[in-house]
Amino acid sequence: MDCLFCSIVAGDVPSRKVYEDDVAYAFLDIAPWHKGHTLVIPKRHVDDLTGDAEVMQEIAPAVSRVARLLVDRLDADGINMLSSAGPVAGQEVFHLHVHLVPRYGEHPGLGELFRKQVEEDPDQVLAQILG
């Protein structure tokens, strides 16, 4: 498979799975901006949010469930949701993905969002999320 995220869904590339249902798959980002930074993707390949009028509606329940899980389990003070479409917007993997980034009081605002600040062991973070 040429698509990294399709390979993750297929189980050919390992990931730290946070959530899965019939249409969506969520896993910890490998270069997190904040503790618990998670990607939610559709299981079917769609390049970006402009590629299919139905796809955001399909994965919306998973995005909501994962956002609530991250806030509840990681004691986050808020959450940012972001999806980029196209190289000029910063998209690097061309399979639709929604970033869910838990936010904490000590790092407020969007200016701090795009700096990797996580030093926690991702396996420990995953264990905390999954309970």
- Residues 17-65 have pLDDT tens digits of 999 999 999 999 999 988 999 999 999 999 999 988 899 999 999 999 9
- Residues 72-88 have pLDDT tens digits of 999 999 999 999 999 99
What integer pLDDT is reported at residue 113 of this predicted model? 59
**Secondary-structure class of domain 4-130 per CATH:** alpha beta
Nearest to 48 by CA among 32, 38, 59, 37: 59
Residue ranges per structural domain of the chain? 4-130
Catalytic residues: 97
> Do the Cβ atoms of 25 and 9 come closer than 8 Å?
yes
CB atoms within 10 A of CB 5: 22
What integer pLDDT is reported at residue 116 of this predicted model? 57
What integer pLDDT is reported at residue 33 of this predicted model? 86
Block residue for tokens 């990797």: 116
